[in-house]
């Protein structure tokens, strides 16, 4: 397994290619063993019926060819090959009927394989660490998964329904030609098939790189369009419609060029295949006609050879198409399954069950950097006392928000340890760890669902009474009263129908509904007006009583009542104490307080003058 982000996933070619991916799909084929067996039996039955039809046709023609000249109408019924005609019709019916039954029975196997594989990739994506998802392009990733799912469907259907039947039919035809006719017929057929397969395989392998390039450009154009549409308002703010269209057209031009190269190589492949088939058919027909002329073969034999050629080379020609599409499908599957080779940098291998006692959190000598060349935390030591409220303040870039990411184990520190009630969080299952944590993040992103369902995401089994309680605590009543649908109002994609303050209040209500042991507020009131901020801070103070609480704050006026305040600078805690004690030190905290106090007074003066 590899550990890298989305950029390296998109830049690097697949590690495992082609037919090696079949081993991932085989378990899903055996989930419905009896369906696979029935499909194979129907496949064999269909091909036996199909190969038998030319022989039935030969005997009909030979019997009709012996028809005397000027036969009377009453005598004609005696010469009519009725049994052969009925047998021919039955063979054709069985060939089609067996094929339809095979499709019907095997369809469930294909659909289940698509479902299982897609779910496996989906779960794996959610298991990857935050670094992968910060680097990835959602649109490109989505296209890779979509094409991969369709590739699985094509691979399974045509592998079982076309490649195997055609190979079976080839073996039967060559065997029957050897048994009933001069060996030259079987030799021509065998040479043509070998040439066709070798040529198709070599050409298709050469073409696959152009298929991959076309797929990569398709993913790039899709990602570019999705990114632009998701940032619709930003495009409008900067009057950038033409720039976005030009960038999208540039990506489309590269996609068009890749598709054109793909088309040229396809022309070469199709032309070569057609030439091999045409030469083989002409050679077989010339040989059959010569044998009829010299009396070695009958007219029925000539028709049988002709029927075999059409029956054999038409599927073989289609097999060339199937092989091309299979290679294209496998190129698609490679991109999707390549995701499964991406390993999370934060392994979820903790075995020790979380035993919450009081909820004390300790950062012990934590060193961490998002990149090797920049260390954000430089030996941080910080204790969040059990049942107390601790605020962390400092200038931007001091590493405050990094604390929450490390505590949730989105990342692991390079050195040091984080403990909850003495238990290192590395030794805990991530599900246990995150169940005891609740957060109101800086940037609240909501699902494109109702307001109520966004709240229930924290605790789906919550009652309406509990919902009403957290709605009141987060000052959401006014927002709900504005809409006829009430709390069933849709919030839009990523919550775009709401203001920043409204989204923040929903995030606060959602965290309050979870009622975790340890509460984290990452600048939770930064988008609120002063009046709402005071009301929500009072609610936070009330609900966090008795809970270990970490408040990352920008406005110091919101945290003066905290039990403990830690000042961060340069990735370490430089001061720690309560509000009055820190002011008395006349250090970092006092300077921050004075700077904000002067700024607030200036704002009030300007408002009064206005």
* Confidence (pLDDT) at 141: 72
533 in any annotated domain: no
Domain membership of residue 157 (yes or no) is: yes
Let me know whether 432 and 448 are in one domain.
no
572-577 β-sheet, strand order: 437-440, 518-522, 548-552, 389-394, 564-569, 572-577
Structure letter (DSSP) for residue 373: T
Tell me the CATH number at 91: 1.20.1560.10
Q: Are residues 262 and 327 in the same domain?
A: yes
On whether both 92 and 127 belong to a single domain, the answer is yes
Question: What is the number of other CB atoms lying within 10 angstroms of the CB of residue 393?
Answer: 26
Q: Are 572 and 487 within one domain?
A: no
Q: Are residues 336 and 365 in the same domain?
A: no
- Among 341, 369, 404, which residue terminates a domain? 341
Q: What are 198-232's pLDDT values in tens digits? A: 888 788 777 777 777 777 787 778 777 877 877 77
Residue 537 maps to a domain: no
Say yes or no: 359 and 337 in one domain. Answer: no
Could you give the CA distance from residue 422 to residue 419 in angstroms, rounded to a whole number? 5
> Is the residue at 536 inside a domain?
no
Same domain for 303 and 363, yes or no, is: no
CATH number of the domain within which 549 lies: 3.40.50.300
- Residue 493 CA to residue 122 CA, distance in Å, equals 20
Q: Which domain holds residue 461?
A: 443-515
Domain assignment present for 539 = no
CA distance 439 to 517: 11
Instruction: For residues 493 and 563, state if they share a domain.
Output: no
User: From CA 61, how far away is CA 305, in angstroms rounded?
Assistant: 13
**Structural domains counted in the chain:** 3
Q: Does 538 reside within a domain?
A: no
In a shared domain, residues 458 and 426 = no
Query: Residue 608 burial by CB count (10 A; 0-12/13-18/19+): exposed, middle or buried?
Result: exposed
Packing angle, helices 82-127 and 22-29, rounded to 10: 110
End-to-end CA distance of the chain: 63
> In this structure, are 87 and 33 located in the same domain?
yes
Q: Is residue 449 part of a domain?
A: yes
The residue out of 493, 515, 537 marking a domain boundary is 515
pLDDT band at 67 (very low <50, low <70, confident <90, very high): low
How many C-beta atoms lie closer than 10 Å to residue 603's C-beta?
10
* Per-residue model confidence as pLDDT tens digits over 153-199: 777 777 666 667 777 777 777 777 788 878 888 888 888 888 888 88
Per-residue pLDDT at 7: 40
* Same domain (yes/no): 219, 276: yes
**pLDDT tens digits along 340-394:** 777 777 777 777 888 888 889 999 999 998 877 788 888 889 999 998 999 999 8
For residues 332 and 382, membership in a common domain is answered with no
User: Among positive and negative, which fits the CA dihedral 479, 485, 487, 489?
Assistant: negative
């Amino acid at each position: 397994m590899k550990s890298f982000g989305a950029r390296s996933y998109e830049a690097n070619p697949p590690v495992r290619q082609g037919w090696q991916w079949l081993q991932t799909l085989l378990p899903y084929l055996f989930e419905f063993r009896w369906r696979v067996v029935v499909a194979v039996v129907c496949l064999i039955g269909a091909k036996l019926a199909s190969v038998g039809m030319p022989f039935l046709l030969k005997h009909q023609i030979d019997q009709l060819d012996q028809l005397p000249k000027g036969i009377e109408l009453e005598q004609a019924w005696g010469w009519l090959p009725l049994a052969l005609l009925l047998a021919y019709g039955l063979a054709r019916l069985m060939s089609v009927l067996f094929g339809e039954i095979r499709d019907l029975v095997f369809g469930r196997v294909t659909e289940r394989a698509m479902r299982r594989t897609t779910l496996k990739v989906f779960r794996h994506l959610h298991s990857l660490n935050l670094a992968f998802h910060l680097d990835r392009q959602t649109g490109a990733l989505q296209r890779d998964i979509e094409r991969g799912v369709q590739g699985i469907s094509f691979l399974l259907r045509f592998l079982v329904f076309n490649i195997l039947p055609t190979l079976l039919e080839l073996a039967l035809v060559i065997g029957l030609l050897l048994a009933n006719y001069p060996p030259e017929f079987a030799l021509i057929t065998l040479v043509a098939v070998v040439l066709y397969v070798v040529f198709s395989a070599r050409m298709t392998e050469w073409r696959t790189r152009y298929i991959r390039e076309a797929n990569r450009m398709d993913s790039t154009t899709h990602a570019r369009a999705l990114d632009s549409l998701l940032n619709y308002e930003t495009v409008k703010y900067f009057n950038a419609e033409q720039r976005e269209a030009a960038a999208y057209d540039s990506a489309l031009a590269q996609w068009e060029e890749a598709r054109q190269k793909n088309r040229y190589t396809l022309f070469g492949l199709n032309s070569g295949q057609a030439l091999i088939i045409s030469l083989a058919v002409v050679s077989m027909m010339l040989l059959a006609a010569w044998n009829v002329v010299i009396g070695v073969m009958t007219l029925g034999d000539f028709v049988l050879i002709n029927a075999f050629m059409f029956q054999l080379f038409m599927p073989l020609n289609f097999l060339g198409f199937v092989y091309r599409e299979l290679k294209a499908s496998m190129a698609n599957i490679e991109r999707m399954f390549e995701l499964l080779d991406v390993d999370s940098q934060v392994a979820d291998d903790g075995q020790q069950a979380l035993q919450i006692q009081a909820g004390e959190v300790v950062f012990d000598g934590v060193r961490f950097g998002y990149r090797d060349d920049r260390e954000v935390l430089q030996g941080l030591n910080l204790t969040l006392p059990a049942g107390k409220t601790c605020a962390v303040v400092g200038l931007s870039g001091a590493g405050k928000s990094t604390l929450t990411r490390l505590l949730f184990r989105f990342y692991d520190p390079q050195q040091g340890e984080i403990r909850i009630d003495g238990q290192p969080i590395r030794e805990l299952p991530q599900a246990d760890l995150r169940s005891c944590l609740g957060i109101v993040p800086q940037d609240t992103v909501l699902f494109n669902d109702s307001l109520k369902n966004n709240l229930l995401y924290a605790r789906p089994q919550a009652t309406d009474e509990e919902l009403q309680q957290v709605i009141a605590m987060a000052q959401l009543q006014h927002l709900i009263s504005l809409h006829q649908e009430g709390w069933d109002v849709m919030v839009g994609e990523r919550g775009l129908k709401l203001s920043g303050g409204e989204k923040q209040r929903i995030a606060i209500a959602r965290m309050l509904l979870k009622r975790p042991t340890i509460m984290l507020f990452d600048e939770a009131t930064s988008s609120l007006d002063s009046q709402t901020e005071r009301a929500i801070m009072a609610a936070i103070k009330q609900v966090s009583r008795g809970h270990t609480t970490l408040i990352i704050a920008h406005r110091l006026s919101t945290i003066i009542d905290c039990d403990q305040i830690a000042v961060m600078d340069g990735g370490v805690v430089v001061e720690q104490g309560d509000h009055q004690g820190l002011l008395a030190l006349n250090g970092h905290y006092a300077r921050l307080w004075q700077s904000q106090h002067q700024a607030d007074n200036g704002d009030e003066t300007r408002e009064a003058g206005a």
